[in-house]
Amino acid sequence: MQFREKKRRQPPAVIIIALIDVLIVVLIFLMVTTTFKSQIPALKLALPESKQSKPGEAQEDLIVLTLAQSPPYFYLGSQAVTTNALRAALAEKSKANPEAHLSIRGDKHTPWGLIVNVMDMAKEANIKSVNAVTQMPAEQ
């Protein structure tokens, strides 16, 4: 004998609108964070400090070479290159633009012999000037 009626339970409903709102927030978060990822440098350098450093000028005939402290040592732009490929690229860029300038961004722990080798390659390729990229010392 049952005195109480069984109540029929309704199946739980999924609120789609709340899920869409959460999905949009996650999508915006992912879009914003992936745009910052492209600005992270591929190679972290500790540039040497110089009290005589000056702000750089944007030049269209500037060749930027990055020297790391561990292999692969040479990066032309953001691409790693070998010694022979670097020599060929410097010669090619010098032929294309005789007024090309080479700017070396080297880690302060980069072996000095590599810098001298790059300067020799630049001289062989008839590059007019070779500059070193430095940073101002931190204020104490």
Over range 72-94, report the average pLDDT.
90
pTM above 0.95, yes or no: no
Instruction: State the amino acid at position 20 in one-letter form.
Output: I
pLDDT classification of 40: cutoffs 50, 70, 90: very low
Question: Which of the residue ranges 22-26, 28-32, 75-79 has the most confident prediction, judged by mean pLDDT?
Answer: 22-26
User: Is the predicted pLDDT of residue 88 greater than 80, yes or no?
Assistant: yes
pLDDT of res. 69: 83
**Domains (range + CATH), the chain:** 62-132 (3.30.420.270)
